[in-house]
Amino acid sequence: MAANPMSQFDVYRIGPEIKVGAFDISFTNASLFMILSTVSILLVFNLGSKKNSILPNKIQLLAELSYTFVSKMISDTAGSKAKPYFAFIFSLFMFVLFCNMFGMIPYTFTVTSHIIVTFVLAAFIFIGVTVIGFIKHGFGYLKLFVPSGVPAVLLPLIVVIEIISYLSRPISLSVRLFANMMAGHTMMKVFGGFVISLGIVGGWLPLSFSVALTGLEILVAFLQAYVFAILTCIYLNDALNLHH
């Protein structure tokens, strides 16, 4: 790890180069942390669902609290029609949360700090929501871009704005998560570098700042996963319950 605060985001190959046609799908540190996150999620929730005791133990309580937390979030924002998509939103929330949290461990790699990862997730959500909307409402789904109660003069402008805002959803969704993770981790790296360069005399101030930032970043890691999941729910709500 070099002193450059951006070098923590470097992706490098682990093992040999794997090529399928023209595509390089080598196993990298990013792949390693994706696998670590998913395996930890599966491990935690498998352990949490194994025994069914009336008084749950700690890991069962954790699994059940996560389950009720996500299911309440979905039913609050997207209603009961969103129930078939519960497993996807649960997986999404847990994946982002675990990737963010794994990134908080020193010397690890943060999967969600890469725009390509968050963009693929966001694009998949965007396409999926759009497809669901057209399946549920047919071309009536286009009414989403025509809000009711708008004067006829303003309508063309409003429709254009609505379409732009709709199309920018995957970008805002992916950049929000990626930028938050990258900014936080870069800041921590910068302050960590200050501790070293200021030494034993002046290093205490950036060190205390670093400690505070760690707490903040853990909060951000949770919050961004929550925001990512709840925005998915809101988009899903638009597709399932057309309000306009």
Partner 1 sequence: MVKKIYFQSIFFSFFFIKEAFAAESGGMPQLNPEFWVSQIFWLILTFGIMYLVLSKLILPKISNNLESRKSQILENIEAAEKQREDSDTKLKEYDEIISKSKLEANSIFNQAREKALKDIGAKREVLDKQIDNEISEAEKEIDILRKNAPDKINKIAIETSSELLQKLIGTEVNNSSISAIVDDLSKRNGDKYYGN
Residue type, 18: I
Under rule CB under 8 A, residue 211 binds partner 1: no
**Among 3, 105, 120, 223, which residue sits at the site for partner 1 (rule: CB under 8 A)?**
120
Report d(CA 128, CA 126) in Å as an integer.
Answer: 5
Report d(CA 93, CA 115) in Å as an integer.
Answer: 17
Nearer to partner 1, 78 or 182 (CB): 182
Nearer to partner 1, 48 or 133 (CB): 48
CB of 200 to partner 1, least distance (A): 23
Under rule CB under 8 A, residue 69 binds partner 1: no
Nearer to partner 1, 120 or 160 (CB): 120
Under rule CB under 8 A, residue 86 binds partner 1: yes
Under rule CB under 8 A, residue 63 binds partner 1: yes
CB of 20 to partner 1, least distance (A): 8
| Interaction residues for partner 1, span 164-203 (CB under 8 A) | 178-179, 182-184, 186-187, 190
Contact pattern for partner 1 over residues 128 through 167, marking x by CB under 8 A: ----------------------------------------
**Among 73, 74, 82, 90, which residue sits at the site for partner 1 (rule: CB under 8 A)?**
90
Q: With CB under 8 A as the contact rule, which of the stretches 9-17, 73-81, 142-150, 152-160 interacts with partner 1?
A: 9-17
Under rule CB under 8 A, residue 24 binds partner 1: yes
